[in-house]
Amino acid sequence: MNKKQKHIPVRLSGLVDGRHELDYSVAPDEIDLPEEFGEPVSVHVDLDKTHSQIALHVQVETAATYPCDRCLDPVRIPVTTDFVLVYAHDNSGSGDGESDIREIPVHDPTVDIAEDVRDAAVLCIPMRRICGEDAEGNPTCRKPIPDAIRAEKQTREDPRWDALKKLDLDR
């Protein structure tokens, strides 16, 4: 991601108090998403400005395609997530050090939320990715598991056990 360029710019200055809605559509590679993300990322920002702070409710929608862990068929994973960012002109008064409130940059009050959007989208991808399961928990993969994967699983067994099995322990 080009740090100098703002990919999802949100202007935090010159706004009247109240709600403002913003919509963006960015290419996944523009915000450094992994290549499995192959669809445009749509971002909806619901901005709520009060005299003391600006809250952004950000909704993200896109999809990624990963190979199924069982059969390697492509699995489309819809990504829908949302998060809230809060900005204030001066958060030094909060003092507890645990505040998530960000400071509005004085000289450049247009913030880029691209990194936040990318992180939120990546978190939506589960560790286990399979075509699906039926009510009994059986995989709904259309094809059988390729032999290559089965063979790989077998060779992954620790060969040191074979050596132990060969030892004559009854001696």
Q: Give residues in contact with Zn ion (CB under 5 A).
A: 68, 70-71, 73, 131, 141
Q: In the complex, what is the shortest distance from the CB of residue 50 to Zn ion, in angstroms, rounded to a whole number? A: 49
Q: What amino acid occupies position 1?
A: M
Residue partners of 89: CB distance under 8 A and separation at least 6: 52, 103, 104, 106
- In the complex, what is the shortest distance from the CB of residue 66 to Zn ion, in angstroms, rounded to a whole number? 11
Closest-CA residue to 129 (of 71, 69, 54) = 69
Residues 6+ apart with CB under 8 A from 52: 88, 89
State the nearest-atom distance from the C-beta of 65 to Zn ion, in Å.
13
Q: Which long-range contacts (CB under 8 A, 24 or more apart) does 136-139 make?
A: 139/70, 139/71
Residues 6+ apart with CB under 8 A from 115: 1, 31
CB closer to Zn ion out of 101 and 130: 130
For Zn ion, the closer of residues 61 and 69 by Cβ is 69
Cβ-based nearer residue to Zn ion, 79 or 141: 141
Nearer to Zn ion, 68 or 79 (CB): 68
